[in-house]
Structure 1
Amino acid sequence: MESVNTSAGQPSSPDAALRVDKTRVANMDHADAQLAAEFGYKPVLKREFGYFSTFSFAVSISGLFATVMTTMIYPLEAGGSSAVVWCWLISGIGCMCLACSVAELVSALPTAGGLYFTISRLAPQEWVSSICWLDGWLNILGQICGVASSEYGAAQMLLAAVSMARDFDYEITTGTTVGVMAALTITTGLINSLPTSWIEKITKFYVIFHVLILVSCSIALLVKTENKHDATYVFTHVESTSGWHPLGFSFLFGFLSVSWCMTDYDASSHLAEEIKSPELMAPWAISSAMLFTYLAGFLFNIVLCFCMGDPSAILSSPTQQPVAQLFYNSLGKVGGIFYTVSALLIIKFVTWTALQALARTVFACARDRMLPFSNAWTKISPLTGTPLNAVWISTFFCIAINLIALGSYTAISAVFTLCSIALDWSYCIPVLCKLLFGKFKPGPWHMGRLSPFVNAWACLWTLFVSIIFVLPTARPVTAENMNYACVFLVFVLLFALVYWYISGKKFYRGPVSEAVVDDSLSESNSQVKADKMGTRV
């Protein structure tokens, strides 16, 4: 059997009598048959994920307990207790609209390429290659920043636990944090080098552990904290240390916390070729997991605000983790260490699943010849059935981007910001294509008449918060507190633009499809017919 790659959306020619081998399709399960016949990809990944493990995977991407712990500093500095609570509630609505918009697209076009692939079916053919190129690079950048920022947060948690264990007689330096981050990222790469079946088993355990920790910590804090704030303080107190005026504008920087926690919606879609019935399971997992994160996160933030004591005291903690200090103050040394280590385990689940999604994205984009040395990143290990090269090139860049902390600790916050901006815009681009070009055919999971309104609000909200996120979070602005997110974003987009003119414009035609050629066609005839179609064999 031979395989022919054709650009997606390209009309078939009568001369090209290529057909999918019916016997082979009949022997596939429904999802693999759809992948081969409708989307044109040869199934090479094993479908190991069921409903529960897919839902658990989607929940793990947010890592609610740990990611709130990592990012609570942003709303707390921006506007105090009220910013922590209301920024989550307000921004979460926009995030839910974007999550549901993503779920709708994934249901219609479930492939490992995720939303990057959907553009080939939503945009006019003459624009497909350029739009897919931009979207693919934004998505990869966002996912790298997502894993990198989570690993950096994990390193901070581990060192915070060490500091508490030594009664704060331990100085946490940036160099130490970067070193621990690199070691933790390598362990994430090793976990992702296991067969998919092992990752699926680990994922099943995650959601149970996460919910137990979240509930038990909330109860423990409410019971053990002696001097809790009252409701008036929690919901109305405004206090900013950002230097921005008016104070209401400073309040807006608190949106970063929920935007970073409730993102990477399409991670489940990148596992579409490893999920059973992905047109149903993937969108269901995305929407239900984000709803859980939104509601549980709102309640958990309220609990933290009731129990946090003096916000300036936890913000100046020697652990460099305000919530870890909150745990220590309310629950004592043992309780503080236990829940900080629990948060570390949870955020490691986040990095395991996020790196898995990133590696599948690299695999899919390389399969479409979008990346340098694409052939290397599409190789599937015969031992694990996974794209090991894609896993380790992803691991390398997740470590590399965090090395900027060695030059400027403040600059590391740009990695958190880039994650939200790049990922959310990589989702909004196909959503805009859906709204503008009218080529969308809904899958089994869709929002009906509400769809265009939800889609439009998702894009408008993303534009609004993106403007906020590229602004410096403190004034007066200096080289030390500058928001470098815009600098990094421009650098990556310039690289993508240069590489487009060097290579992409000549060879890249958007997501490709692979059809199985009947054995009766000789190699020479296949080559002639492929040439007539303007394809690559």
Structure 2
Amino acid sequence: MALIETSIVPKSAGYEQHKSAEYGQDGYKPGAPVQAKYRGTVADQREMHALGRVQELRRNFKFVTFGLTDGGTAGLIYGFLVVLAGFMSPTSGGQYHWVSEFAPRSAQKYLSYISGYLVATGWQLSICSTAFLSGTIIQGLIVLNDPSYSPQPYQGTLLVWAVTVFCVLFNVFLARRLPFVEGVLLVIYIVGFFVIIVPLWVLAPRADARTVFTTFNNAGGWNSKGTAFMVGLSGIIPGLAGYDCAVHMAEEIKDSSKTLPQAIVYGVMVNGVMGLIMVITMCFTLGDPDSILSTTTGYPFIQVFFNATKSYAATNVMTAVIIVVFTSAVISEIATSSRQLWSFARDGGFPYSAFIAKISRSQNIPLNAISVSLAIVMLVSLINLGSTVALNAINSITISALMSSYILTISCVLLKRLRRQPLPARRWTLGRYGMAVNIGAIVFLLPMFVFAFFPLATPVKLASMNWGSVMFSGIVGLATLYYVVWGHRQYTPPVLITRREGYDM
């Protein structure tokens, strides 16, 4: 649902068969149009027309809107820098839309379709991963304050449900105020950053710089510290990945084709600087890594907070900040994932697309897509009742699904560049550096994708196996099967309804 560039695909590609009043072949119709004041700038309206879309969402948003086992302290710091550098290359647009635009004509429809499923999988499971962190950190805090408490899997699942329901209600009933609320959460995020690092700087014992910057661990038993380092990156990526989240909110952002790229770049910069400071601070104040990793709370950072402050109250406050940050992330992820679901559904990408693509006429939000996101999280979190290992594999699928969608998108753009085919007109461009950035991004993303499927340690047993590769293959296989049997008949690639340059309004 990206609005960054306009298409050069001629109407003969299929536009006449798919009028903008109806997307897909499953009966989807646009919802109620929004009020004029929520339709954005003239550029927004022109680009919606170019994409063959009807404005159905309010444009409320403006611009302001760890790996100790494998890697060690040095691995954390340098790994953070590596991942940060890799994600400094912003991807353009909603992945399935751009794959539809840039893929070779013979493969446009299927590649776009599978890209849509990959993005949907990544974002839906990211909600579950983040909500799981929020819920189980609460359990860890209870363990700290009451050592007699024995956390049960069903309690963790109930906490995941509670966090998710709260965030869904937030998205539904505070939809109009979501930009303001997210601004408040940004202030809390920045203040919380200092609430955590200042006590650690003042109270925690400090390791010497030589130890911090040169100690690489291989507690996972890999054949080399280099392999351990690469495996440890999977713990860093979730904190820096997913900058495409803003893209999936494109139809609710004013002057989106200019604002979005700026927001992504500045977001990477701000999060990168603050994240690097936090990682270095934690590495200097860890104490004994082995004792931290064996903490009964289940979360090393909680033990670090307590060891530094020797205060239950201070540790509770510092950990509460982390819980608030993760919970606010769930709010944003639900908003993002529901919009991506809605966008893909209006193009007929899912079973029951007509239901998922409906817009609430009173609130101009994809209420059904939000409800589907809630149902998916509640069902997936039930895995925790049988196996925490299986639930941990969700983190691998989240990373691999998003990484593969990035790889697919950038590869299609790169292929177009290599063939010297013209790219669409756009307001934000990498200019002559575009091809170099695309190549660098692919070189960075491919190993990230592969190592996301590695288990944490060796030797690998059935109980410690990372089942992410099996689950990922199953998702892609089922999506492909559905496409062959039914999806190819109801899915309409965005390129078919996109008007070419030189259109008239």
Given candidates 74, 77, 83, the residue that maps to 2:69 is: 77
> Could you tell me how far 1:385 is from its partner in structure 2?
1.4
> Could you tell me how far 1:32 is from its partner in structure 2?
4.2
Is this contact kept in 2: 1:195–1:384, CA < 8 A?
Answer: no
Is this contact kept in 2: 1:380–1:387, CA < 8 A?
Answer: yes
CA change 1:187–1:300 in 2 (3 A) is: same
> Could you tell me how far 1:395 is from its partner in structure 2?
1.3
Structural mapping, 1:323-342, within 5 Å = 323-331=301-309, 332-342=311-321
> Could you tell me how far 1:37 is from its partner in structure 2?
2.1
Matched, 1:133 2:113: yes
Distance 1:450 1:312 in 2: 45
Matched, 1:450 2:462: no
Structural mapping, 1:256-275, within 5 Å = 256-275=234-253
Distance 1:146 1:436 in 2: 30
> Could you tell me how far 1:14 is from its partner in structure 2?
13
Counterpart amino acid of residue 443 in structure 2: L
Distance 1:349 1:382 in 2: 26
Distance 2:119 2:15 in 1: 37
> Could you tell me how far 1:18 is from its partner in structure 2?
11
Is this contact kept in 1: 2:127–2:333, CA < 8 A?
Answer: yes
CA change 1:450–1:344 in 2 (3 A) is: same
TM-score by length of 2: 0.88
Counterpart amino acid of residue 48 in structure 1: N
**Corresponding residue of 1:421:** 400
Identity of aligned residues (%): 24
Give 3-state SS (helix, strand or coil) of 2:64's partner.
Answer: helix
Structural mapping, 1:496-535, within 5 Å = 496-511=479-494, 513=497
Structural mapping, 1:39-438, within 5 Å = 39-53=51-65, 72=66, 75-97=67-89, 100=90, 102=91, 105-106=92-93, 114-166=94-146, 168-225=147-204, 227-331=205-309, 332-437=311-416, 438=421
> Could you tell me how far 1:126 is from its partner in structure 2?
3.2
Give 3-state SS (helix, strand or coil) of 2:312's partner.
Answer: helix
Work out the number of aligned pairs and report it.
472
Given candidates 449, 453, 463, the residue that maps to 1:470 is: 453
Is this contact kept in 2: 1:172–1:319, CA < 8 A?
Answer: no
CA RMSD of aligned residues (A): 2.5
Distance 1:19 1:248 in 2: 54
> Could you tell me how far 1:309 is from its partner in structure 2?
0.8
Distance 2:468 2:13 in 1: 46
Distance 1:375 1:446 in 2: 35
Is this contact kept in 1: 2:8–2:424, CA < 8 A?
Answer: no
Is this contact kept in 2: 1:260–1:417, CA < 8 A?
Answer: no
Give 3-state SS (helix, strand or coil) of 1:78's partner.
Answer: coil
Counterpart amino acid of residue 471 in structure 1: F
Distance 2:387 2:414 in 1: 41
Is this contact kept in 2: 1:147–1:398, CA < 8 A?
Answer: yes
> Could you tell me how far 1:39 is from its partner in structure 2?
0.7
> Could you tell me how far 1:211 is from its partner in structure 2?
1.1
Distance 2:473 2:160 in 1: 25
Unmatched 5+ stretches in structure 2: 1-6, 22-32, 500-505
CA change 1:255–1:51 in 2 (3 A) is: same
Counterpart amino acid of residue 361 in structure 2: P
Unmatched 5+ stretches in structure 1: 1-6, 54-71, 107-113, 516-537
CA change 1:320–1:375 in 2 (3 A) is: same
**Corresponding residue of 2:3:** none
**Corresponding residue of 1:11:** 11
Is this contact kept in 2: 1:81–1:238, CA < 8 A?
Answer: yes
Describe the superposition over 1:281-320 as per-residue Cα deviations: whole angstroms up to 9, x where unpaired. Answer: 1111111101222222112111001111111111111111
Describe the superposition over 1:208-267 as per-residue Cα deviations: whole angstroms up to 9, x where unpaired. Answer: 111111123111101011x31111111112233212122332122121122111111111
Counterpart amino acid of residue 172 in structure 2: S
Distance 1:252 1:221 in 2: 28
Farther off after superposition, 460-469 or 11-20 = 11-20
Structure with more helix by fraction: 1
Is this contact kept in 2: 1:137–1:496, CA < 8 A?
Answer: yes
Distance 2:18 2:110 in 1: 28
Give 3-state SS (helix, strand or coil) of 2:263's partner.
Answer: helix
Distance 2:51 2:141 in 1: 48
Distance 1:471 1:163 in 2: 30
**Corresponding residue of 1:57:** none
Instruction: Point out 4+ residue stretches in structure 1 off by more than 4 angstroms.
Output: 7-10, 12-21
Distance 2:159 2:18 in 1: 53
> Could you tell me how far 1:11 is from its partner in structure 2?
2.0
**Corresponding residue of 2:27:** none
Describe the superposition over 1:367-424 as per-residue Cα deviations: whole angstroms up to 9, x where unpaired. Answer: 0001000010111112321011100101111222232222221222211121111112
Distance 1:15 1:154 in 2: 45
Counterpart amino acid of residue 154 in structure 1: S
Given candidates 468, 471, 475, the residue that maps to 1:492 is: 475
TM-score by length of 1: 0.83
**Corresponding residue of 1:481:** 464
CA change 1:435–1:330 in 2 (3 A) is: same
